């Protein structure tokens, strides 16, 4: 499946490149160019956090693991704050006491909560204009609040009992509950607090970028266990290459599926771009985030909520799981989509149709 998706993206890159040569007659060439212009914001948003990943792993292992063990919890769950392909799975393997918890923490939690913290939030806040960040933040909060759906489904499919899931995940479940309660009772204050959290992530990313750049140019490391900046840029470059194809592909899909997307938009109170963003978010959060400038306000919130659980379901995360634990590909797919659907339903519930359809295009 991952290889098929990459072939589709490759065809999209050819389509965009050829249209650019022809003078951007059909609009695909412009989307092709955007793939490269987004390299800068992407690198600025995530390369620093990748540099800090070994340091974060060390902090978890020596500062929080003893506390986790003291309360009788499996420390592998802590690995879930790192993305599945940024060391989360490997760290879960080192810290977890069972294969079931490795799957649950290193794949299910790392592919949702971890991806959100170390990738989607910094990239989204870095790419979006200031006016869109409020809607993005609210969507992220709603998506995180519905994360227990993914956790329960993924945990059961990992081989854990319902009681084990609740006990081992109690801190995360409590965090999600507080988020949902905050959105319901204190929406403005909760979004403001989340914005501060996003700023902290941005600060850490900048610190990592500073340290990585200094080490690259001088050979002297300002921080211990710092991953080389060139390794982080390799990850960023791979994302940029995929964007060359994914953005023209997104444009093509939006045109081909215009009628069904319009139907979905009418039923949910969102415009066509908002409905198309959900389709692209399953492949990668980056093209979905870039499309937010064309979405209405409600669509921005719904799409951001969807990304928390469902981002990269049939692309990067599926490909990573194929290479590490092939038997868990389908369970992870089911868990992420279940959480994504729950997040969309919650986002639609928390956003009144009349209030968020004024900017439909």
Torsion of CA 40, 44, 224, 321, to 10 degrees: -80
For residue 72, how many other CB atoms are within 10 A of its CB? 8
> Can you give the pLDDT at residue 359?
44
Around 61, how many Cα atoms within 13 Å sit in the side-chain half-sphere?
Answer: 14
pLDDT of residue 341: 95
Helix axes 187-218, 170-185, angle to 10 degrees: 130
Question: Are 256 and 271 spatial neighbours (Cβ–Cβ below 8 Å)?
Answer: no
Q: What is the pLDDT of residues 144-156, one digit of tens each?
A: 999 999 999 999 9
Q: Residue 94: CB partners within 8 Å, gap ≥ 6?
A: 61, 79
- What is the CB neighbour count within 10 angstroms for residue 139? 29
Q: How many CB atoms lie within 10 A of CB 230?
A: 12
* Ranges of the chain with pLDDT below 70: 1-2, 315, 319, 353-361
Burial profile 28-60: b = 16 or more Cβ within 10 angstroms, e = fewer: bbebbbbbeebbebbbbbbbbbbbbbbbbbeeb
pLDDT tens-place string over residues 256-270 = 887 887 888 888 888
Q: Rg of the chain's alpha carbons, rounded to an integer?
A: 20
**Rounded CA gap, 173 and 23, in Å?**
52
User: What pLDDT does 297 receive?
Assistant: 92
DSSP letters spanning 42-107: HHHHHHHHHHHHHHHHHHIIIIIHHHHHHTT--GGGGGGGS-IIIIIHHHHHHH-SSHHHHHIIII
Asked if 68 and 280 count as a contact pair (C-beta separation under 8 A), the reply is no
Question: CA nearest 119: which of 172, 69, 82?
Answer: 82
Among 241, 206, 247, 208, smallest CA distance to 225 is for 208
Q: Which residues contact residue 131 at a Cβ distance below 8 angstroms, ignoring those fewer than 6 apart?
A: none
pLDDT confidence of residue 88: 83
The candidate with the shortest Cα–Cα distance to 129, out of 307, 301, 303, 289, is 289
Q: How far apart are CA 198 and CA 122, in angstroms?
A: 7
Long-range pairs of 3-8 with CB within 8 A, sequence gap ≥ 24: 5/283, 5/314, 5/315, 6/242, 8/245, 8/249
Amino acid 158: pLDDT? 93
Residue 289, classed as helix, strand or coil, is: helix
> By the 8 A CB rule, do 332 and 318 touch?
yes
Contact 157, 334 (CB under 8 A): yes
The set of residues, in sequence order, having a beta carbon less than 8 Å from that of 208 and lying 6+ positions away, is: 47, 48, 49, 50, 51, 52, 226
- Residue 157 sits at the vertex; the CA angle it makes with 151 and 158, to the nearest 5 degrees, is 80
Distance between terminal CA atoms of the chain? Answer: 34
């Amino acid at each position: 499946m991952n290889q098929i998706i990459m072939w589709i993206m490759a065809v999209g890159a050819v389509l965009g490149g050829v249209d650019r040569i022809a003078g951007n007659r059909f609009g695909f060439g412009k989307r092709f160019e955007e793939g490269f212009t987004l390299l800068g914001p992407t690198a600025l948003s995530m390369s620093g956090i990748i540099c800090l990943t070994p340091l974060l792993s060390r902090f978890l292992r020596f500062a929080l693991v003893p506390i986790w063990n003291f309360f009788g919890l499996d420390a592998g769950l802590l690995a879930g704050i790192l993305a599945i392909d940024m060391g989360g799975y490997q760290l879960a393997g080192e810290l977890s006491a069972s294969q079931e918890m490795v799957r649950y923490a290193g794949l299910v939690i790392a592919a949702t909560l971890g991806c959100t913290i170390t990738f989607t939030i910094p990239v989204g806040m870095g790419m979006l204009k200031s006016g869109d960040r409020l809607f993005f933040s609210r969507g992220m909060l709603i998506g995180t609040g519905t994360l227990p759906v993914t956790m329960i489904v993924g945990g059961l499919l990992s081989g854990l009992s319902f009681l084990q899931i609740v006990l081992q995940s109690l801190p995360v479940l409590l965090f999600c509950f507080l988020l949902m309660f905050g959105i319901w009772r204190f929406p403005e204050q909760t979004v403001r607090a989340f914005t501060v959290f996003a700023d902290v992530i941005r600060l850490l990313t900048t610190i990592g970028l500073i340290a990585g750049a200094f080490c690259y140019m001088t050979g002297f490391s300002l921080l211990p266990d710092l991953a080389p900046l060139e390794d982080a840029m390799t990850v960023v470059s791979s994302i940029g290459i995929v964007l060359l194809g994914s953005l023209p592909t997104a444009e093509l899909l939006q045109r081909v599926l215009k009628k069904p997307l319009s139907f979905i938009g009418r039923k949910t109170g969102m415009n066509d771009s908002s409905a198309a963003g959900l389709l692209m978010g399953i492949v990668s959060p980056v093209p979905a985030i870039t499309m937010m400038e064309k979405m209405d306000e409600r669509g921005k919130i719904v799409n951001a909520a969807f990304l928390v659980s469902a981002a990269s379901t049939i692309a990067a995360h599926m490909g990573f799981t194929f290479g590490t634990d092939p038997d868990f590909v389908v369970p992870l797919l089911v868990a992420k989509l279940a959480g994504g659907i729950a997040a969309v339903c919650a986002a639609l519930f928390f956003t009144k149709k009349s209030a968020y359809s004024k900017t439909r295009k």
